[in-house]
């Protein structure tokens, strides 16, 4: 089928169709693929025209593509990503900004901008993205769709351009929780969960960080979620340490990104866009002392979160500190909001845990995601919770 891309969600060099198997659990569904993943015979730009110009056309499909096609899904094109997947905004200086159909005039979020926009605008049934520091969860919140950052290493991410490999994961989006779970069953090899977690922890510091307006907007959804758990408690996840956690994430992500990209940056001298250029320059300056300290703090975060979570426990927190920002905001304002968002988003990445954003709330007429996070390997349980009919999606 030919997609009529009214949202600038798909890249021009990636208008390609790959029909899925005639039968399978995803038969009849269409999907978009973030232009970070390789397709045989189709260029990968990773959001950068200089990357596109200096890398050969892939000769093999990324494993997740084969997995989805064999399950019956049909690929209808490659979707936009922020440059090198290193942004949360969805505004690419080289390729433009996909339209957020759920919040017109506002950014779609990134880096999986095109995938989230395509799903939010109804162009595809689901779409594949990637999440390093929030690149599935944040655009899921902004576009009013479901989006999962799975347990680190749970889904094969080979055949993709890396950003920070100890954080990078495959993620996906859908408007429908049942479709979302069907895709998850294929990607995770998931079986029907044998049990439902019985204990919900409400992250009071995360709600405080998001602010009173966001907390108030989530009241109805949070109340509904609480009815699914016999035990509900309040917990402080990181408290006053959240800015330090964010900084540790920033250093580790930057160090890994620089290690992966430095040879290309030095040889190709790419014209990087705003934000990405500054982050790459900063990353090149991190010292071994800074990196070692950040690794030590990551170990502390993992121990802290693992002490809170067991197979019977789920944490609930706001996905983002607000709704999608207006398009064309000043760089300094975007960076300030990004820093605040990362204080909510970095925990799952540092701990390597699954976090699912659900489109259950609205604020000022725009979508606002509520997240649930679970112990390592508990991805299926999160999807089952999201499918519970008690949790009614808010669309207006």
Of the candidates 48, 87, 111, 112, the residue annotated as catalytic is 111
Q: How far apart are CA 115 and CA 9, in angstroms?
A: 7
DSSP 351-387: HT--EEEEEEEEETTEEEEEEEEESTT-HHHHHHHHT
- Preceding omega of 345 cis (within 30 degrees of 0): no
Structure tokens at 21: 């198997």
Active site residue 174: no
Beta bridge partners, 171, equal: 129
Q: How far apart are CA 23 and CA 238, in angstroms?
A: 47
SS3 169: strand
Active site residue 284: no
| Burial class of residue 393 in the structure, from the number of CB atoms within 10 Å of its CB (0-12 exposed, 13-18 middle, 19+ buried) | middle
The residue assigned the tokens 């408007």 is: 175
Of the candidates 113, 135, 357, 361, the residue annotated as catalytic is 135
Q: How many residues does the chain have?
A: 396
Structure tokens at 312: 């019977």
The helix or strand, by DSSP H or E, that contains position 172, with its residue range, turns out to be: strand 169-174
Structure tokens at 218: 């989530």
Active site residue 371: no
Residues carrying an active site annotation = 34, 111, 135
């Amino acid at each position: 089928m030919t997609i009529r891309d009214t949202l600038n969600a798909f890249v021009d060099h990636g208008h390609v169709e790959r029909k899925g198997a005639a039968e399978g659990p995803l038969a009849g569904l269409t999907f978009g693929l973030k232009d970070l993943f390789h397709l045989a015979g189709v260029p990968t730009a990773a959001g950068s025209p200089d990357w596109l110009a200096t890398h050969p056309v892939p000769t093999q499909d990324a494993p997740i593509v084969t997995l989805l096609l064999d399950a019956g899904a049909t690929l209808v094109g490659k979707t936009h990503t922020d440059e090198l997947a290193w942004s949360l905004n969805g505004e690419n200086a080289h390729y433009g900004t996909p339209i957020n159909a759920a919040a017109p005039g506002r950014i779609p979020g990134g880096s999986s901008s095109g995938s989230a926009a395509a799903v939010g605008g109804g162009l595809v049934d689901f779409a594949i993205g990637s999440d390093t520091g929030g690149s599935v969860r944040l655009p899921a919140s902004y576009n009013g769709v479901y989006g999962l950052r799975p347990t680190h290493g749970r889904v094969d991410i080979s055949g993709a351009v890396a950003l920070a490999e100890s954080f990078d994961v495959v993620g996906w989006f859908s408007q429908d929780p049942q479709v979302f779970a069907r895709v998850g069953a294929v990607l995770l090899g998931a079986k029907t969960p044998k049990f439902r977690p019985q204990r919900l922890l409400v992250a009071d510091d995360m709600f405080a960080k998001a602010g009173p307006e966001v907390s108030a907007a989530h009241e109805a959804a949070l109340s509904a979620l609480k009815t699914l758990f016999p035990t509900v408690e309040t917990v402080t996840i990181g408290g006053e340490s959240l800015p330090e956690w964010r900084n540790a994430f920033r250093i580790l992500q930057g160090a890994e990104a620089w290690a992966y990209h430095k040879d290309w940056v030095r040889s190709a001298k790419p014209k990087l866009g705003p934000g990405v250029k500054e982050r790459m320059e900063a990353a090149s300056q991190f010292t071994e002392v800074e990196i070692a300290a950040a690794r030590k703090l990551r170990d502390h975060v993992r121990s802290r979160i693992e002490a809170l979570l067991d197979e019977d426990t789920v944490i609930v927190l706001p996905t983002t500190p607000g709704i999608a920002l207006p398009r064309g905001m000043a760089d300094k304002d975007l960076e300030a909001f990004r820093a605040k968002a990362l204080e909510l988003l970095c925990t799952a990445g540092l701990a390597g845990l699954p976090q699912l954003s659900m489109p259950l709330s609205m604020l000022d007429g725009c979508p606002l995601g509520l997240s649930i996070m679970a112990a390592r390997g508990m991805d299926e349980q999160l999807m089952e919770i999201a499918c519970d009919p008690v949790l009614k999606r808010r669309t207006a």
